[in-house]
Each structure stands twice: as structure tokens, then as C-alpha cells.
């Protein structure tokens, strides 16, 4: 088993998830079970799948969880862009989190490619 907590992709994923909870604190109350919940779930899915994949014995299985994490990051990016267009959340934190998600996507792709070799 690998120590997922040492991976930069997991650390960045945790940072993104924490920021997403902070972002959604200021959403309208009617969004508590709508966009807000979707954002927090997708953000938590990123580091969670990295962690779960690290327990797998084969690189192929591990890579599949990295792909799921990458998919969650794209889902999250879409939801954050929607929040941005709706003027929900703290604009500076929202903008920075979108940049962080883009960086995380690049790192996940690189890590996934490394596992395939």
C-alpha cells in the first residue's frame, strides 16, 4: 500500500475540498441541497479516490481511481464555473479554486500517465 498522504495530488485535492466548503458557505440558502452539495461532493471525491486507489495492488486498478478523480475534477470545474456565472460565493476564492482545479487536473493526468508505463 502506498502512502497517499505524501502525494502532492492528494494534498492539493484536500486543499481544493476545504476551499469548496468555504466557497459554498456564502451560497443562497436554497442552494444548500443543489449546487452547493454537488460542489462539495465532487471536491471530496478528488482526494478520496486518490486515497482509495492507493490501496489497490495493481497499477491498472490504481490508475482507474485516478481517472475517477480526474472526472470529479472536471465535474467540479463545471460546477464552479456555473457558480461564478451566478455570482455565488467569494469571487477571489472561487477564481483561485478554479485555477487550483486546473492545476490538479494536469497533475492527475501526469500521474495517471506515469501509472500506465
Specify the pLDDT at position 2: 77
Specify the pLDDT at position 7: 95
* H-only helix segments in 4-116: 8-24, 35-54, 59-85, 91-116
CB 77 within 8 A of CB 103: no
* Structure-block grid coordinates of residue 11: 494534498
Specify the pLDDT at position 40: 97
* Structure-block grid coordinates of residue 111: 500521474
Rounded to an integer, the average pLDDT of 21-46 is: 94
- pLDDT band for position 68 (cuts 50, 70, 90): very high
Give pTM, 2 decimals: 0.94
Superfamily the domain 4-116 falls into: 23S rRNA-intervening sequence (1.20.1440.60)
What's the full length of the chain, in residues?
A: 117
Specify the pLDDT at position 91: 95
CB atoms within 10 A of CB 84: 16
- pLDDT band for position 1 (cuts 50, 70, 90): low
Q: What are the boundaries of each domain within the chain? A: 4-116
Amino acid at each position: 500500500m502506498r502512502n497517499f498522504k505524501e502525494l502532492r495530488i492528494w494534498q492539493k485535492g484536500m486543499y481544493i475540498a476545504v476551499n469548496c466548503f468555504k466557497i459554498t458557505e456564502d451560497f443562497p440558502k436554497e442552494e444548500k441541497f443543489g449546487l452547493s452539495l454537488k460542489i462539495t461532493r465532487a471536491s471530496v471525491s478528488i482526494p478520496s479516490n486518490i486515497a482509495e486507489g492507493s490501496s489497490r495492488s495493481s497499477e491498472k486498478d490504481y490508475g482507474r481511481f485516478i481517472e475517477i478523480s480526474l472526472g470529479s475534477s472536471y465535474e467540479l470545474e463545471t460546477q464552479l464555473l456555473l457558480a461564478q456565472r451566478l455570482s455565488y460565493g467569494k469571487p477571489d476564492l472561487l477564481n483561485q479554486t478554479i485555477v487550483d482545479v486546473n492545476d490538479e487536473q494536469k497533475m492527475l493526468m501526469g500521474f495517471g500517465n506515469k501509472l500506465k508505463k
